[in-house]
Structure formats: C-alpha cells, structure tokens
Structure 1
Amino acid sequence: MMFALARQDGRRSLSRRARRLSALALAVALTAAGCTAPASPDPEVLSAATDAPSRPAQPDDAALTTYSYGPRPAQTADLILPASLTERTEELRTPSGSEAPAPQVVDVVVLVHGGGWDAAYDRSSETEVARDLTDDGIVVWNLDYRGVGAADPLDEGGWPGTFEDVAAGLDLLPHALGEAGLAPGRVAVVGHSAGGTMALWLAARHTLPDGAPGAAPLVRPDLVVTQAGVNDLKTAGAEGPVEGAVQALMGGSTSGVRDDRYDLASPTALLPLGVPTLVTTGDLDAVVVPSVATDYAEAAQAAGDDVTLAVIPGEDHLSPQNPRSDAWAAVRDWMAERGISSA
C-alpha cells in the first residue's frame, strides 16, 4: 500500500504530547507506478543527521527502568511504562495473596535509533517519540547498541557485534516485562535511518541459518517499521551517500569481504520476512533518498510480504523523530490499524 503524505530504576519527566496531526487519508495498493524518487538536493552525511527535535518537557508519571543485556554502557535498553500502568505494576510486583496474579499482557513498541551506526549516537534521539507513545498509554522498549568508532575497543560495534547487540536487547524484553508483572502481547519494532536497517533485520532473524549472528530469536516481532532506513546494505555499501557508513559497519565493501556477512545482514537479502511491514520515507530526504524505500517496498511485495509504503510529502530525513510530523503520524496510524493498543 502507499500513503500520500547491572539495571537501574528511575522516574523520568515525560510530557503529555500535543494532539497529533489528523490521520493521513489516502491508502491505495502498492504498485510499481508512483514509486520513483523525486530529485533531491546534495546528500548530507548520514551520521550527522540524527539530532532529535527539541520540545519543552512537561512532567508526568511515566516510569523508566534501564536494563543491561551486556557489560558495556551501550548494551542497554529502557523499559518505559505509561502512567496508566504504574500502579498496576506495583500491585503485580507485590501480590498480597499466596498466588501471584497472572501477568498483564501489553503491546510493546520497540524503538531502534539511527545515527549511521556511529558510536557517538544513542537511544536519546528516540526520546520524543517514546514520550508520544507512553503519553497514549503504550509501553516502549527503547533499545541501544554498540556502534562503530568507539574510543574504547570494548565498546566497538560493527559486524557482528552491533547485530548481536540488538538481537540480545530484543530478546531481553520478556524478562524486563516479567519483572513488572507484565507479558508481551503484540510487538512492533520501529527503527529510524540506520535503526530502520536493524528493525528489518530483527524481524528477519527467524530466517537466519543456525549459528549465524542473531539466529534462533526468543522474540519475533509482529510488525516492523523502517523509517528512512538503509534497507539494502549490499547496494548501499557499493555506492551512494551512505557507502562509507555501511562499509564501516560491515568491515569492508561487498567486494572486499570474503564471507557471507552481507547476505546475513542485509534486509533485502533476507526477504521475505513474513512480517507486516511499513516502509516510510520523506520526499525531501537527501540522506537516505526515497528510492531506497520504494525499491525495498517493491522487492518485499514481490517476495510475498505484506508491505505498506508511505512517501510523505514535505518531510526530510529527521522528520520521523518529530512526534508532530506527518511522518510519525503515518507510523502511529499504521500500528493502530494493526492492533497496537494502549495498555
């Protein structure tokens, strides 16, 4: 389809979001026609295009707990529970009777940040959209991972470490929910830019051969969203504005590496995913140009996947980080139509 458009507990100041833009109206079947990219200005550097839009914070009662899935600082994820759940989870943690109550089943949105897989960037770029979700009563798992170019070699990501990190981080979700007396219902993974690549890869893990990094997942996403994602690592690693970022992630070019890492990492190479997929792009995106989204949507549909393509007029590469944008409204609408609901 195509739209025109060690663990630490804490409380964080999360604001009530402004009423989001009205639902995007037009939804039609995806066809090859209409999937070409418009002309775009000179591309920017991928890793320099991820500063989150600012917005004044208003305090509320959302609860944030940070979990570690490994020993390094970036090997963490935040479980953010909306205010509507905080009292209920306290009851579930401390049952008064001899029998513990059954865990409450909740839908979860997993956020995977972008930044060109560069170690300088982290999950804080997803703060605003995380707030938007929790303000509407939706549980969030904001996932971090090791990137490339870290000062300490132990913090260095790349292949396969970055992929193993996001896999381990997603698989920790049921444990984190269980500590709050909750259990996962529908799980939607939403990634922006470099995180869009990782989101699709997380949805494809069940297709990986035994022994491959990330194989045998404990958590299989029910929905996946790639927002301005680098959806085909093989093509992007061979030419184009993000070639350097991809090669840094993968440890070389497609012709320079001698193993099958690109086949095990690139979402396009792993099609079909077998997971309903939303592919978004802004028609003004000069970092990951719109043709990357349209090409992936066509390939995924041809492979048999349930795919929705959203090309958002007037939006750029950073728009998905802004909860007031049409780009984010498209994601919220698509997930709501597919059953992601408030706790």
Structure 2
Amino acid sequence: MTSLPAATPPSFTPLKWPDLTKRPQPKPDATISYGEDALQKADVWLPIGLGQHPVVLMVHGGCWTTSIADRSLMNWIADDLRKSGIAVWNIEYRGVDRPGGGYPGTFRDAAAAADALLKHATEFRLDTKRIVAVGHSAGGHLALWLAARPRIARGSPLYTANPLKIARAISLGGLPDLEAAAASPDNGCGTDVVAQLVGKPGSRIDVYGDTSVTRLLPLGVRQDLVNGREDKIIPLRLGTGYEAQARAKGDRVALHIVDRTGHVELIAPESAAWAQAKHIIQTALAGR
C-alpha cells in the first residue's frame, strides 16, 4: 500500500477591516441618549417577541479612540445575537481624541451608558437578572472594567454607589491589563494611547488604581478571554498574562485560543471565534 504524503495545510489569510466594514450594515431598533454629548449614545437591538429579553452589554474597541472606531463596528455581531433571541445594548463613549475623553471621561461615559440599561429596561423589555458584558479589543478592557466597578473605592472620581451588576465578562482580543499594554510597543494601539487614557501616573494621582482591571482583582465575576492565535494587532501574551493574574487572585477565568483567527475574525459573525464567543454568551445567559 502506497502512503500518500500528508496534505499541506492551507495558508491562513486573516480578515482585514474592509472585509467586515464594506458589508451591508444591519441597523439597531432604537438609540438612546445617556448624556448631552453627541457620542453619549447606546444602540438597542431587540429580538422579535415580547420579552423579557436576555441582554448583552456590548463595548466596541478602536484603541479608545473615536476616530478609529465607533459602536457601529459591532453591528454585525449585534444583529447575529438579535436574530438568536438576545437583546444587545451597544454603547458609545468619548475616546481620548474627543473633548471630555480620557480620564475620567471615557470611563464615566462607559459607566453611565451601562447604568442607563437599567433605566430603560422596562421600556425595552430587558431581563436584567443576568447581564453579560462583551467587549472587543480596547472594548475588552472596558467590558472587564465595567464588571470591576464594584471594586472601585469610594472617593475615586470613578466610584459609583450602585453600578450595573455584570454576571459575566467576555473579552474578545482585548487589552485586559493596561500596564502590560503600556509596556508593550507591539500592541496594535501603541503605548502613548494608554497614557492619554489614564493620564500620566504621578502627574495628579496614580489613576491606574481605578482604571486597570488587574489592580481591581479579584472581580468576583466569571471571565472569558477569546483570542485569535494569529492576532497580529493584540499580542496573545496580553491574554495569557492577564489570565494568570486573575487566576492567582482567585477569579474564575478561561482563555479560549482560536486557531486560524486574527483580530477582525473575533467580531465577524461567520467565524469560528464568534461561534465560540456566542456559545459562551448563551451559556452565561442561561446561568450555566
């Protein structure tokens, strides 16, 4: 019997941003304002039916910089969740390149946008018993930070008395550790943007204390990191490093590494990475 040579695995070409953004873009069912600025908005995606709808709090990335990306980058996966019976609360916030962005404004925006979900829950028939936060790239950091808000000390400019309770936080190719990102010139956002986001430590106060998720560990919230093995924008070690720190502090955290996956695939609804993230979301909303 003649043995055939092993087949050569097909080469992998990661998606580029236009591969996603040039597609026809689905639209949300409603948009609410949580402040007076034009960027202080949240889009609402509602499944067919009367509810109560399970709900995902969604946070876009773009290096915390409005000119790079806005919430519409998440429209394709928001629509996919809507079609699967899950409501989405997709938030906008002022980036570091906009008046009022940076510290504390970007964080206050994310917090106010999240808390606005509770204010509008009855109007949109949202089930708030178990809310899952999902963020991509820089939004992965903000999703985890929103889950960490109960850990922020009273007296901090970012303290909120009764923040929205997050049942589970999912980071898609995120930057969960700001200090590691600031020390990693190969992260796709660069190191300067972290300084713009948090303010330079020592200039006023060490604002890493209330902005860096690692400083706020343990969160007491189950966390999942979904990362592409071939992600050239956000190095995989930023995920593995955070996982180790969170586990060491006693949190339940899982790192899911998806082969043949870059950065864009993480929010492309047909991808294996999104299928895995969606399964995690559905499991979390079911309380499992």
Q: TM-score scaled to structure 2, two decimals?
A: 0.86
Give, in whole Å, the separation in 2 of the partners of 1:113 and 1:279: 15
User: Residues 164 and 214 of structure 1 are in contact (CA less than 8 Å); yes or no, is this contact kept in structure 2?
Assistant: no
User: Residues 55 and 127 of structure 2 are in contact (CA less than 8 Å); yes or no, is this contact kept in structure 1?
Assistant: no
1:239: Cα distance to partner?
3.8
Q: What is aligned with 1:173?
A: 117
Note the 1:79-158 alignment, pairs <5 A: 79-82=44-47, 84-85=48-49, 88=50, 104-120=51-67, 121-150=69-98, 153=99, 156-158=100-102
Note the 1:1-343 alignment, pairs <5 A: 53-54=20-21, 57=24, 64-82=29-47, 84-85=48-49, 88=50, 104-120=51-67, 121-150=69-98, 153=99, 156-212=100-156, 213-241=158-186, 242-252=190-200, 254=201, 257-340=203-286
**Shift in alpha-carbon separation, 1:181–1:232, aligned structure 2, 3 A:** closer
Give, in whole Å, the separation in 2 of the partners of 1:227 and 1:180: 26
Give, in whole Å, the separation in 2 of the partners of 1:300 and 1:50: 31
1:268: Cα distance to partner?
1.0
**Shift in alpha-carbon separation, 1:340–1:127, aligned structure 2, 3 A:** farther
| Partner SS state of residue 260, structure 2 | coil
User: Residues 198 and 207 of structure 2 are in contact (CA less than 8 Å); yes or no, is this contact kept in structure 1?
Assistant: yes
Amino acid at match of 2:218: P
Give, in whole Å, the separation in 1 of the partners of 2:191 and 2:28: 39
**Shift in alpha-carbon separation, 1:68–1:53, aligned structure 2, 3 A:** same
**Shift in alpha-carbon separation, 1:324–1:182, aligned structure 2, 3 A:** closer
Amino acid at match of 1:285: D
**Unpaired stretches in structure 1, ≥5 consecutive residues:** 1-48, 89-103
**Unpaired stretches in structure 2, ≥5 consecutive residues:** 1-15
Give, in whole Å, the separation in 2 of the partners of 1:310 and 1:190: 14
Q: TM-score scaled to structure 1, two decimals?
A: 0.73
Flag the structure with more relative contact order, 1 or 2, with Cα contacts below 8 A and sequence separation at least 6.
1
- Deviations 1:127-161, CA, capped at 9 Å, x for gaps: 000011001111110111000223xx3xx310110
How large is the RMSD of aligned CA atoms in angstroms?
Answer: 2.1
1:186: Cα distance to partner?
1.3
Identity, in percent, stands at 37
Amino acid at match of 2:271: S
**Shift in alpha-carbon separation, 1:137–1:57, aligned structure 2, 3 A:** farther
User: Residues 54 and 126 of structure 2 are in contact (CA less than 8 Å); yes or no, is this contact kept in structure 1?
Assistant: no
User: Residues 25 and 75 of structure 2 are in contact (CA less than 8 Å); yes or no, is this contact kept in structure 1?
Assistant: no
1:168: Cα distance to partner?
0.4
User: Residues 52 and 322 of structure 1 are in contact (CA less than 8 Å); yes or no, is this contact kept in structure 2?
Assistant: no
User: Residues 111 and 190 of structure 1 are in contact (CA less than 8 Å); yes or no, is this contact kept in structure 2?
Assistant: yes
User: Residues 188 and 222 of structure 1 are in contact (CA less than 8 Å); yes or no, is this contact kept in structure 2?
Assistant: yes
| Partner SS state of residue 71, structure 1 | coil
1:117: Cα distance to partner?
0.7
Amino acid at match of 1:238: A
Amino acid at match of 2:139: G
User: Residues 44 and 88 of structure 2 are in contact (CA less than 8 Å); yes or no, is this contact kept in structure 1?
Assistant: yes
1:244: Cα distance to partner?
1.6
Amino acid at match of 1:106: H
1:248: Cα distance to partner?
1.8
| Partner SS state of residue 157, structure 1 | coil
| Partner SS state of residue 135, structure 2 | strand
Q: What is aligned with 1:37?
A: none
Q: What is aligned with 2:5?
A: none
| Partner SS state of residue 172, structure 1 | helix
Give, in whole Å, the separation in 2 of the partners of 1:113 and 1:308: 21
**Shift in alpha-carbon separation, 1:69–1:214, aligned structure 2, 3 A:** farther
- Deviations 1:263-284, CA, capped at 9 Å, x for gaps: 1101111111111100121111
